[in-house]
Amino acid sequence: MSKEPLVSVVIPTYNRQEFLEEAILSVVNQSYNNIEILVIDDGSKENYAEVICNKYKKCHYFYKNNGGLSSARNFGINVAKGSYIAFLDDDDFWRADKLQKQVKVLNSNKNVDCVHSSASVVDEKGNEKGKLIGASENKIHKRSGDVFWNALGRWVVKSPTPLIRRKVFTKDLMFDEDIKIGEDVDFYQRMFYNHKVFYINEPLAFYREYDNKERLSLQKEKYIGLEKKIYDNFVKMGIKNPFVLSKIASKLLDSGVSRFNFLNPQKKIKLRFLDKYIFPIKTLNKINFSKK
């Protein structure tokens, strides 16, 4: 039996066959061997995922009724057997040494609960575009450790890159199944509150960018108002300190207004000093992010 910890890799898929096998192969071909691959079919119309998954010994197929990305990830977490859990979208893929590098970090840093990295952007055919998503050179140091306040409303873990200890996932910290777009933003912002992270400044994953109206990341308008939901989830986590909640609301308010104004330059929301710093919770709850 391997002495290395088992890594559970959760790959949700929904009506998107064309990239799935490449994603699975990038896990199968990892230099780190003690893995299980959990393909979560979120109610696809065709049975493509099971056919692909059955080709690979370490790949396990699960079908569930459609519930969205959060629901599929939570399903994967609940059936996972590993002490470390990784997420990979069905249109992204990994560098061969990703897990080996990340497991080494978690094994040697018991106070770190998540290790993440930058990612290389690729086109529809998987060719690198010469663009990285991750920390700029002057902000690398801000991506490790207790990152909560510098990350809140600003950045989150890049979707194909994290490896997370299983113990992180508790009743109060799962993906919110009511959030259909931006669920990763909500989850990682809340994860940062209680958990230290470690950033590897290398592109250990490949993030695919292509034009398809079905891609959630391109539906920017649907992210508007996300910050209200994130704030409510912080409250549900049991945070009661009014000063902490006020500061959280202020940062989320700033992020939400910036997002709205960028997408709606003709109808910008203007915040007063009192709105942002004295009554941010009240302002966040009453502001109409949906106005056009």
What is the structure's pLDDT at 220?
Answer: 66
Q: Are 115 and 105 in contact (CB under 8 A)?
A: yes
What is the structure's pLDDT at 1?
Answer: 44
Boundary-marking domain end, from 183, 218, 253? 218
What is the structure's pLDDT at 223?
Answer: 81
For residue 157, pLDDT over 90 is answered with yes
For residue 218, pLDDT over 80 is answered with no
| pLDDT, mean over the chain | 94
Q: Are 28 and 37 in contact (CB under 8 A)?
A: yes
pTM of the model as a whole: 0.93
Same domain, 201 and 267: no
pLDDT over 70, % of the chain: 95
pLDDT over 90, % of the chain: 86
In a domain, 147, yes or no: yes
Q: Are 214 and 127 in contact (CB under 8 A)?
A: no
Same domain, 129 and 234: no
Same domain, 92 and 213: yes
Quick: pLDDT tens for 125-136: 999 999 999 999
Quick: pLDDT tens for 56-108: 999 999 999 999 999 999 999 999 999 999 999 999 999 999 999 999 999 99
Boundary-marking domain end, from 190, 218, 246? 218
Q: Summarize the confidence of residues 212-241 as an average pLDDT.
A: 82
In a domain, 271, yes or no: yes
CATH number at residue 119: 3.90.550.10
Q: Are 276 and 253 in contact (CB under 8 A)?
A: yes
- Amino acid making up residue 94: W
Same domain, 46 and 115: yes
pLDDT band at 212 (very low <50, low <70, confident <90, very high): low
What is the structure's pLDDT at 292?
Answer: 47
Same domain, 146 and 13: yes
Q: Domain range for residue 182? A: 7-218
In a domain, 292, yes or no: no
Helix (H, G, I), strand (E, B) or coil at 205: strand
In a domain, 2, yes or no: no
What is the structure's pLDDT at 2?
Answer: 53
Upper half-sphere CA count for residue 186 (Cβ side, 13 Å): 29
Number of domains in the chain: 2
132 strand-pairing partners:
120
Residue with tokens 């941010």: 280
In a domain, 180, yes or no: yes
Same domain, 208 and 239: no
Same domain, 231 and 177: no
Same domain, 121 and 255: no
In a domain, 136, yes or no: yes
Quick: pLDDT tens for 182-193: 999 999 999 999
For residue 168, pLDDT over 90 is answered with yes
Quick: pLDDT tens for 18-56: 999 999 999 999 999 999 999 999 999 999 999 999 999
Same domain, 195 and 225: no
In a domain, 154, yes or no: yes
**Pick from 89, 50, 98: which is nearest to 70 by CA?**
89
